[in-house]
Structure 1
Amino acid sequence: MEKENKKGAVKRFAKLIMETNPPKLLLGLAVLLSVITTLVALTIPLFTKELVNGFSFGSLGSGQIIGIAVAFIAQVVAGGLSVYWLHYSGNKIVSSIRERLWSKLLRLPVPYYDNKSSGETISRLTNDTAILKSLITEHITGFFTGILSVIGALAILFYMNWQMTLVMLVVFPVAALIMFPIGSRMYKISKETQEETARFTSVINRVVSEIRLVKASGSEPMEYEHGRTGVMNLFRFGLKEAKMQALIAPVISFIILLLLVGLIGFGGVQVSSGAITAGELVAFIMYLFQIMLPLTQISQFFTQFQKAMGATDSIIAIMGAEEENQDSGSEAEHIRKTVSLERVSFAYKPEEPILQDVSMKIEAGKVTAIVGPSGSGKTTLFSLLERFYSPSAGSIRIGEQDLSDVKLRSWRSKIGYVSQESPIIAGSIRDNLSYGLDRAISDEEMENAARMAYADGFIGELPDGYDTEVGERGIKLSGGQRQRIAIARALLRDPELLMLDEATSNLDSKSEEVVQDALKNLMVGRTTIVIAHRLSTVVDADTIVFLDKGRITGKGTHEQLYRSHTLYREFADGQLKMNKSA
């Protein structure tokens, strides 16, 4: 079973490499030049043998000297070109894998990321691909030229003296019996190390991205322990790997020493009896090193190959994940139609339903508000409308067309979304306003959108205006400023369906007033669906839908629900009277 798994891993690795369309010509030339370098190296002990046996430089003709010089120069040039072309090819292959992996990550649906930590995903894109790069650029050619060097050296040794060669070969079966179990153990350790590296990367990514929360919460000691646990786990796996390496190095040294002593002892007897010359003995010893050093390279290749197999499995797992189909279906040319939810149910986990049998209409060109207690499924409803998730049961329709029959990219291009914590990317205000748009935005358009979003005032006061850097996640901006940037961005998208998710819930009263005015400008002429905890922001909505524990328990205008819906009336009395007294 284990043998089949390894065989399958090799096939998966080979397939992954071939799918990148590697530069076969350059790889072939690199291998060919490495072969030439190895073949030239195999002639050196023969030349040394002649020197030891009395051959002198004085007996060399100018042509022979030039030939030897050319051979050495050719070896150096061939070796240099081989290394460069191999690294070029390896980097190109890994670059292609990273590009494919990055493209795949962007096409994977939201549920995939719900079940994976960001650090683990980052580790696959960086650490695992680096392992593949190391194998391709540093170890593969050494493996093949090592085999050639071993076979070539053994062939010459058999030709020179087959008895001494057999004495030397006795040791290799013993070495193989020792090395193969070590290689298997190395594979297991490597896979565990990669998984722990991914977990450690996840901790680092989480802490660094939320460092202000960490410090404000006084959580440095707790996060230190989390990080320290990862460091110590990696240290433990590093020690396991070191133990394997510590077994490999002495075994190889012992084999070399054993062979060297055996050859010198047996060869000395042969030289004294006249069976071989001193030059042949020297050549034998040199060929011994031309066998042992490549064997070291081959063993390192297998160690790295085991790591690469684990990395390949992780990468292929991502490549094989089901992705969003963004281009199937029809174009959403105009969605100024009623959006209908018909008996929609949804659950992240089967045993924990979030929405149950939800039916409602979002009238075109009107404002529909969703209200209800926390955890009632309001934001999940938005996620279904954006098609981050698909309903477990029921359907969502635009007019008479099922939403699942509309091209995903086309549908999302018609939606403007402003959340309670509108995401801001690192970069300038200009970058954030134009983010996601597939057309060039003129300065006039940008300034007009900023003015309608009441963002032009504070942008004009910034040192570099629209080119001001906002910091990671917009940390240099206030909450109200971030919201107004998000509204301006939505205005530039010119959406037909506007989705507002608690867009003013985290703002102070002054900022909320400004943002509410900006939202009114944004809502003009658009189908709007609003989530709100504060009823004061949605009392004028055309329709209010009350959602409680995943079910719709009331629909109507503010006045209708106030008269007929007990829980809504309690919400209204508690909030609106409080606002009046304030």
Structure 2
Amino acid sequence: MQDKVTPSSPQQASKPAPQSGAKIYFRLLGYVKSSWLYLLLSILGYVMYSAMEPALAALLKHIVDVVSEGKITESRLLIPLAILAIFVVRGIGTFLGGYFMAQVANKVVFDLRTSMFNKLVLLPSSYYHSIPTGRLLAKLTYDTEQVIGSITQAIRVILREGLTVVGLLSYMIYMNWRLSLLFLLVVPLIGLVVSYASKRFRRLSTRIQNAMGGVTDVASEAIKGHEVVKIFGGSRYETERFYKAAYENRRSQLKMEKTKSLNVPIVQFILASAMAILIWFALSPSISSNMTPGDFIAFITAAGMLGKPIRQLTDVNSILQKGIAASHSIFDFLDMEEEADNGTVSIDRLKGSIEWKSMSFKYPNAEKRALKNINLSLPAGKTLALVGRSGSGKSTMANLIPRFYDIEDGSLTIDGILIDDYKLTELRSNIALVNQQVVLFNGTIRDNIAYGYLRDASEEDVIAAAKAANAWGFIQELDEGLDTMVGENGVLLSGGQRQRIAIARAILKNAPILILDEATSALDTESERAIQSALDNLMENRTTIAIAHRLSTIENADIIAVVDHGEIIEQGSHSELLALDGAYAQLHNQQFSEIPA
């Protein structure tokens, strides 16, 4: 029976001081280093594209001057060729910039996702118990997708449109620096609008991410528990929960769009005002007296062409802030403390003697202790059975042996050495575990029996383990045998079949320490007898901790410990505990009195 107490609040790694958006974004850009060649090709493409904008203005000046001077014949062929050349170069630049920037962005997202998953498998068990699965999946999917926009679209616009603005302004300054300075006066106003919008965009992006996590939470729970939802009539409750989560996400999205929709016309109005003032001054004889008609048209055209890139630069701000907010979430995750492993003792194979000395334990952020002053000695090769009501602390005692959690009070030793002193990977390689809630992966039966350390096991060894677990019979009846897919968490198999595969996995590992957490709970009576016989053979000369609800399965255990409210209140053999006529005897009498005659 799974009886651990989950933490009352999420475990948080110690967080550094809040980072600025620029610092977060530059950290994100650090992932671009591995794709520097693609980035250079992309920048080259954007430079080619941007250079063609002032080239068009210069060509327009040439056309106006040619027409006004009556020299059309001389440039009749040159002008069309120049137009074609400008658009060919711009097209090549667009391809180089867009394609290679996509290469960069997808590599960044790939690196982020793999880094996050690599971090995920190294986090302590307390983290998994503190965060809903849907929210964690949202980090791996939704948050990383937001990063793509901040790399591809944002950098593309910043480089392409930014270089275009620089090119056009440089051309305008070359044509008439005094008029150009007037145009530059609007830059601080645009900066104020963008600054305000940036803060709001990032705040709303964070809210959208949280809301998206809520959507995936509700959906994943409803999918996993669809049978309970149907049987207990929870459809309306779940649809209401999903509606609330989706509505919160929609509300935040609309606020984002409202800010974005206001941001663009405000910037456009500022630019239009600047253009109006610019043209008013340009029409002054004292300012335009030294300009040819071509100069005047080219200058006004270049100023007009500035509107589109500046608008896009401000418009991309929302995408950039989404990426920064997503990056903040991702980097918070990547900066979390990994499962501590300060062990220095290296081992090949443990003997398996286990001793608890004055050991107490409480889960992170929990107020009450799950275990109190545990004193127990289990010699190597012997079997310890833990019995007691649900929530008494049985599974917690077992879960401390492979160091899913660290002990703070008292000690837990294996072969006389503190478990904290063992190298974590080597300690766990000496332990096999069969849970009540069997975990199978979406692969073949062979993959699930020969999993992890065991993946190189021979087919003969896999079959022998399946036979020992009384699983070979049903495996042979399947069309694909060992290559049969089991589905997500073994959904294509029955509960008893899943449990026998898990037992076969433990048998194949052949570890000196075996933990059985209600290992036969999902089996029918006939299968349970066969499995119990296989387990009895497996348990010979192995240190075994068996958590059992049915006392009939552990009567032959060397030591039986009765756990109640986190304390061992009785321990001894089956006959000794019955003779005491205490808690164990009471449990025994209750169970066997329930069996019909």
Task: Give the shorter-chain TM-score range.
Answer: over 0.9
SS of residue matched to 1:437 = helix
Contact 1:496 1:526 (C-alpha < 8 Å) held by counterparts: yes
Query: Which deviates more from structure 2 when the two are superposed, residues 294-303 or residues 562-571?
Result: 294-303
Corresponding residue to 2:588 among 563, 572, 579: 572
SS of residue matched to 2:370 = strand
Corresponding residue to 2:114 among 99, 116, 135: 99
Q: Does 1:557 align with 2:573?
A: yes
Aligned AA (2:138): S
Counterparts of residues 286-365 of structure 1 (less than 5 Å): 286-325=301-340, 328-348=343-363, 349-365=365-381
Q: Does 1:180 align with 2:180?
A: no
Counterpart CA distance in 2 for 1:139 and 1:299 is: 10
1:225 match? 240
Q: What do the CA deviations read for 1:547-580 (whole angstroms, capped 9, x no partner)?
A: 111111111111111112511111111223444x
2:171 match? 156
Counterpart CA distance in 1 for 2:581 and 2:307 is: 86
Change (3 A) 1:31 1:100: same
Corresponding residue to 1:409 among 402, 412, 425: 425
Q: What do the CA deviations read for 1:522-547 (whole angstroms, capped 9, x no partner)?
A: 22332111011111111111111111
SS of residue matched to 1:22 = helix
Change (3 A) 1:319 1:437: same
SS of residue matched to 2:316 = helix
Counterpart CA distance in 2 for 1:272 and 1:29 is: 42
Deviation of 1:293 after TM superposition, in Å, equals 1.7
Counterpart CA distance in 2 for 1:31 and 1:394 is: 61
Query: Which deviates more from structure 2 when the two are superposed, residues 331-340 or residues 540-549?
Result: 331-340
TM-score, with normalisation over the residues of structure 1? 0.92
TM-score, with normalisation over the residues of structure 2? 0.90
Counterpart CA distance in 1 for 2:176 and 2:285 is: 10
Consecutive unaligned residues in structure 1, runs of 5 or more: none
Deviation of 1:266 after TM superposition, in Å, equals 5.2
Deviation of 1:477 after TM superposition, in Å, equals 1.4
Deviation of 1:403 after TM superposition, in Å, equals 0.8
Deviation of 1:355 after TM superposition, in Å, equals 0.1
SS of residue matched to 1:335 = coil
Counterpart CA distance in 2 for 1:421 and 1:446 is: 22
1:52 match? 64
2:259 match? 244
Counterparts of residues 427-466 of structure 1 (less than 5 Å): 427-466=443-482
Q: Does 1:378 align with 2:394?
A: yes
Deviation of 1:60 after TM superposition, in Å, equals 3.1
Q: What do the CA deviations read for 1:471-491 (whole angstroms, capped 9, x no partner)?
A: 222122111111111111111
Corresponding residue to 2:41 among 8, 29, 35: 29
SS of residue matched to 1:394 = strand
Counterpart CA distance in 2 for 1:16 and 1:313 is: 9
Contact 2:386 2:560 (C-alpha < 8 Å) held by counterparts: yes
2:132 match? 117
Change (3 A) 1:289 1:131: farther
Contact 1:139 1:300 (C-alpha < 8 Å) held by counterparts: no
Counterpart CA distance in 1 for 2:72 and 2:343 is: 77
Counterpart CA distance in 2 for 1:495 and 1:135 is: 49
Contact 2:562 2:583 (C-alpha < 8 Å) held by counterparts: no
Change (3 A) 1:326 1:58: farther
Corresponding residue to 1:194 among 200, 204, 209: 209
SS of residue matched to 2:20 = helix
Q: Which has the higher contact order (CA 8 A, sep 6+)?
A: 2
2:50 match? 38
Counterpart CA distance in 1 for 2:288 and 2:323 is: 51
The number of residues matched between the two structures is 578
Contact 2:343 2:420 (C-alpha < 8 Å) held by counterparts: no
1:469 match? 485
Deviation of 1:65 after TM superposition, in Å, equals 6.8
Counterpart CA distance in 2 for 1:488 and 1:6 is: 49
Query: Which deviates more from structure 2 when the two are superposed, residues 538-547 or residues 172-181?
Result: 172-181
Q: What do the CA deviations read for 1:336-387 (whole angstroms, capped 9, x no partner)?
A: 1311111111112452111001011122111111111221100111111121
Aligned AA (1:179): V
Contact 1:429 1:467 (C-alpha < 8 Å) held by counterparts: yes
Change (3 A) 1:215 1:285: farther
1:527 match? 543
Counterpart CA distance in 1 for 2:73 and 2:378 is: 100
1:542 match? 558
Change (3 A) 1:20 1:147: closer
Query: Which deviates more from structure 2 when the two are superposed, residues 147-156 or residues 389-398?
Result: 147-156
Q: What do the CA deviations read for 1:498-522 (whole angstroms, capped 9, x no partner)?
A: 1111112343323322332332232
Change (3 A) 1:232 1:63: closer
Contact 2:447 2:455 (C-alpha < 8 Å) held by counterparts: no
Q: What do the CA deviations read for 1:444-463 (whole angstroms, capped 9, x no partner)?
A: 22221111111111111112
Corresponding residue to 1:216 among 214, 231, 237: 231
Contact 2:469 2:531 (C-alpha < 8 Å) held by counterparts: yes
Deviation of 1:164 after TM superposition, in Å, equals 3.8
Q: What do the CA deviations read for 1:86-140 (whole angstroms, capped 9, x no partner)?
A: 1111211221111111100111011011111111111111111111221111111
Contact 2:45 2:95 (C-alpha < 8 Å) held by counterparts: no
Consecutive unaligned residues in structure 2, runs of 5 or more: 1-15
Counterpart CA distance in 2 for 1:387 and 1:286 is: 71
Corresponding residue to 2:22 among 10, 24, 43: 10
Deviation of 1:435 after TM superposition, in Å, equals 1.8
Query: Which deviates more from structure 2 when the two are superposed, residues 404-413 or residues 441-450?
Result: 441-450
Aligned AA (2:438): S
Corresponding residue to 2:440 among 413, 421, 424: 424
Aligned AA (2:52): V
Aligned AA (1:27): L
Aligned AA (1:30): S
Aligned AA (1:129): T
Counterparts of residues 493-508 of structure 1 (less than 5 Å): 493-508=509-524
Change (3 A) 1:279 1:270: farther
Change (3 A) 1:305 1:347: same
Deviation of 1:294 after TM superposition, in Å, equals 1.7
Q: Does 1:511 align with 2:523?
A: no
Contact 1:271 1:278 (C-alpha < 8 Å) held by counterparts: no
Contact 2:503 2:519 (C-alpha < 8 Å) held by counterparts: no
Counterpart CA distance in 2 for 1:296 and 1:507 is: 67
Q: What do the CA deviations read for 1:278-308 (whole angstroms, capped 9, x no partner)?
A: 4334323331243222212321333222222
Query: Which deviates more from structure 2 when the two are superposed, residues 158-167 or residues 350-359?
Result: 158-167
Change (3 A) 1:6 1:249: farther
Contact 1:331 1:406 (C-alpha < 8 Å) held by counterparts: yes
Counterpart CA distance in 2 for 1:334 and 1:380 is: 24
Counterpart CA distance in 2 for 1:113 and 1:143 is: 39
Contact 2:490 2:498 (C-alpha < 8 Å) held by counterparts: yes
Contact 2:56 2:86 (C-alpha < 8 Å) held by counterparts: no
Change (3 A) 1:376 1:5: closer
Aligned AA (1:293): K
Q: CA RMSD in A?
A: 2.6
Counterpart CA distance in 2 for 1:573 and 1:389 is: 35
Change (3 A) 1:289 1:206: farther
Q: What percent of counterpart residues are identical?
A: 34
Counterpart CA distance in 2 for 1:367 and 1:384 is: 17
Aligned AA (1:139): A
Contact 2:63 2:79 (C-alpha < 8 Å) held by counterparts: no
Deviation of 1:392 after TM superposition, in Å, equals 2.7
Counterpart CA distance in 2 for 1:196 and 1:237 is: 8
Change (3 A) 1:464 1:79: same
Aligned AA (2:59): F
